[in-house]
Each structure stands twice: as structure tokens, then as C-alpha cells.
Structure 1
């Protein structure tokens, strides 16, 4: 049996569909609120409660599971105890393989966001359970807000300078996770998952300009100033500061890699950023 945590989220739903498309017939969707995820249930997918903050639900949810896709929690600052609970429950349940969604270049990344991923990777290493580190790069979808702001205000703001970003679509990452879950390989291994078509935010802005016929430049800002812009746009201060930190780290290469692991897992090149921008503009 294959189980997917966070199955009601954007990535989780795509993974469930990818597994079904590839012929998986025994899938368990682990969700915090089953009553809000009954649309996931099918002849091949069962929906069960699994709350990262309630370890008793994890033990029951993981019983009989062979391979687990462990999608990292979304509560930044709370993920270490949450992730510890998932890993301990999986080990107790006899899960043979845990695939964890980490972050690109986790072992060297200077991002604040990477800290909990590094800690989770260490927990997996000491767990004794075979595991796969799916070090996902940025989702192209992460830039929908920036593109929308570019259209609204006539410029895209950021703090990444000339840093290259090897992003791919959420679907690309979902397909890669499904491929790992359906493989016969139970060995511990790491995949650096990066898009083929890396770009700077200035190039992203140029693609939006081309797609719309408007002049939409990239406004590169100091970290504090960019965090202030995000806060003024309505983001909570801690979240705004984290995004600005990610941008600065991206400017230093944290979100870039020449790895072809993602392309190899999905069997084709990743979605080009220009295609994503044109689809957004349309």
C-alpha cells in the first residue's frame, strides 16, 4: 500500500492523480480533516485522518503502509515536532520506504526555510528507515503572485538580483514523487529536483512583458525593503521576512541546480518558465 500525507493539499492531490494514472490500485490519502476531503475517495483511494499534531491518528493511518510520501508540513516553526511524530509513527508501523519532500540544495542552503528540512533529513537518517529525499526546487506556481502584481503595478519586485532559479511546475514534482513511490527501489537516496529551464526574475519579467506587450521590468530591492513591500501588500511580517530571505538566498544560488534528476524521473523535460508565463498571461 502507498500512502500520501497532506493529500488534500495542492501537491498531494496531484500525486494521488499521478499514482492513479500510472495504475496504482491501493492508495491511502492521509488528511487532517477527512470530512473535507471525501472527494478524494475512489475505488482505489481511501481517505483517513492523519494529523501531524496528534500522533495517535498517525499510528492508525500508517498501519499496513509499505511506501509513504511524506509531504512536509506547512506550519513553519512547528515542523520539527510534527515531522518527528510522522517518522516515529512510520517506523513503528513498519513502513519500508519514506519519500520526503525536502528543498533543493538542502544540505548547503542558507535559507531560513531550509533549516527545518535539514533537521528532518537528519531525523530520517537516524531513523533506520529507508528513505528518499525529494529535494524539490521552487514551484513555478510560486510566481503567480509576482506575475499578477507585475500586471497590476507595472513591475515585479524582488531581492534575488541576477540569481538563477531552476523552478518547475507542481505537476512535474508530483509526477516525480509518483515515479519514486511506484518504483521497486527501496534504497536510501537523494534527488536534487530542479527545472531544466532556469531563469532570473528579470528574465521572468521580460517573458511577461513579451506575453502582454507591456513593459514590465524587474525592480531588484534590498532585503528589508522587499520585506516591507510584501508586508504592505498584506503578508504577516514573519512570512514577508521569510520570503525576502528566500529571495536573497536565491540570488546566491540556493534555488539553482543543473541536476537532471527531475527530468529523468518524469521521463521528459520540465515545463519551461516561458510556457508558464504565457499561460498565466492568457
Structure 2
């Protein structure tokens, strides 16, 4: 039984490979990547795999029984990229696709949601067995802001007091590994999120607690937050997207209290304090 992992050299993909190696033999795993040299340290077979080169994908999927399709990172391009992969998977005889989607993709106001939802529909119509992992936010998305918060003396955002049920990237990676190596997972949709919700005020308080510095949360309008990010050197499109994600958080698009993630991995999700500690140590 061969399991293919797309994006296997990315932040999530590497962790998934690590978790899969704990559950199945390395010989069963195939890294599907744009640069096989970057996959050399994974210790598994690697094959060239570029979402934007559909003519090459079918050959790369030959012999793959089960496929983890980790969503691409190019906003606006992903629907086409994912369709390329799904079509190639069907042509190659892949029996099952596990796809990393977005929390509440069918109701979320986040600009990311539509591409994920369209991919889900393509999967459902493909005739291939599927499982959809609707991943919530990575806690690392927010802890990445800690260095700037420490430098500027405040954590800024536009999430107001929206509740964020994020989890560590490794939690989602473990969930993917569990699903890929378990029976009776086909045609399920999981809403995956952290056990404990927090606000950005809570995050700022945790950073303050661990550093001994007073780091308040300063809430801005979406446009002012985007302008601040542009001022910090981010490209306008990315800054605008990040600010809109925070506004989605303000509307509780990143909140979920079902605890399906911890049930799936058989342990509590990684606490916010632990991810903050890791970020400060890094």
C-alpha cells in the first residue's frame, strides 16, 4: 500500500511524513515535491510533482494507492492546481484522496474558503473515495508575530475579541497520519480545531507572562492593520489578505468547540502556552 504526500517538504508535509513513519514502513511512503533534492532528508522515495504541470502528474502518481493532497499555498491558483491533481489521480488509479481543507469551508467568510469549497466539490464528483480534513488555523500563524510584537511593544491585529480555536501544526499533521493509516475513514468530513479558544488579547497576555514584558494587544481596523503590515515590508496583496483573515477571526470564523481534532489524535491539542514558549525559544 503506497501513500503519496504532496507538498512533503513544506512545514505541514514534513511533519506528516514524520508522523506517518511512526505508523507505517518508510517504504510505503512517497514524497511528491517540486524539488526532490529538498526531500533527500525525509528518508523516503521522492518524485517530482508540480501542481502547475498537469501533464507530468499522472506518471508521478503511478502506483500510489492513497494520496494526501495538501492544499497549495498560492491563493487564487489553488482551485486549478487541485483540479489538476484530482484528475491525474483518477487517471493514475489512486483509490483514495485525503484533502486538507479549511475549517467551516462551507460557511466561512474567509477569502480562502471558496477555493477549498470548490476543491471539495471536485473531489466529491471525481468518483474517488475522499476524506476532507477541514483544518483550523495553525497557532504558528499568530506566534510568528511575536518578534515584531516584542520589538514594537505591542501585538497588533484586527481580530477584536474573536475566539480562535487554533492548534499547533504538528496536531494537524498527526491527524492526517492517523486518518491515512486507519480503516473506515472514507467519505468523512472533519472540522479540526484546537481544544481551547483564545483571543489575541489572551495571546498578548501569554507573551507578556512568558517574557516578563508588558505586551498589550492593540486592535486596529482592517485597513489600518493592512497598512501597518505594508509598512513593515509585506507585499500589499499578502498584507490585505492577512488583515482580512483577522476580520474573519473577529467574526468567529476560526472558532470551533467540537474537539474533533483531539478525539482523532487521542490526546489534547497543543496548548497555546507551549507554542508561545517554542516561538520564544526559536
TM-score normalised to structure 1 length: 0.96
C-alpha distance in 1, partners of 2:276/2:212? Answer: 13
Shift of the 22–240 alpha-carbon distance from structure 1 to 2, 3 Å rule, reads same
Give the deviation of 1:77 after TM superposition. 1.0
State the alpha-carbon separation in 2 of the partners of residues 213 and 70 from structure 1.
42
2:76 corresponds to 1:77: yes
Range with greater deviation from structure 2 (99-108 or 138-147): 138-147
Q: How many residues align?
A: 279
Measured against aligned partners, the alpha-carbon deviations of 1:155-214 in whole angstroms (never above 9, x if no partner) come to: 000000010000111110000000010012252010001001110000000011111111
**Which residue number in structure 1 is paired with residue 16 of structure 2?**
15
Q: Does 1:143 align with 2:145?
A: no
2:99 is equivalent to residue 97 of structure 1: no
Task: Measure, in 1, the Cα distance between the counterparts of 2:119 and 2:136.
Answer: 17
Q: CA RMSD in A?
A: 1.1
> How much does 1:33 deviate?
1.4
Give, in angstroms, the shift of residue 141 of structure 1.
1.0
Q: Secondary structure at the match of 2:80?
A: helix
Segments of 4+ moved more than 3 angstroms: none
Q: CA–CA distance in 2 between the matches of 1:203 and 1:279?
A: 17
SS at match of 1:7: coil
Post-superposition Cα deviations, 1:227-253, rounded to whole Å, max 9, x if no partner, equal: 001111111101111111110011101
**Mean Cα deviation higher: 56-65 or 160-169:** 56-65
Give the match for residue 158 of structure 2: 159
> Shift of residue 87 of structure 1?
0.5
Q: Secondary structure at the match of 1:80?
A: helix
Contact 2:179/2:185 (<8 A) preserved = no
Q: What residue number does 1:34 align with?
A: 36
Distance 1:197 1:268 in 2: 13
Which residue in 1 is equivalent to 2:118?
Answer: 119
Cα distance in 2 between the residues matched to 1:255 and 1:8: 26
Match of residue 51 from structure 1: 50
Deviation at 1:145, TM superposition (A): 2.5
2:6 corresponds to 1:5: yes
> 1:106 maps to what in 2?
105
Does 2:200 match 1:201? yes
Structure 2: where are the runs of 5+ without partners? none
User: 3-state SS of the aligned residue for 1:75?
Assistant: coil
Quote the Cα distance in structure 2 between the aligned partners of 1:279 and 1:8: 21
Which secondary structure state, in structure 1, belongs to the residue aligned with residue 132 of structure 2?
strand
Q: Which residue of 1 aligns with 2:129?
A: 130
Does the residue aligned with 1:279 lie in a helix, a strand or coil?
Answer: helix
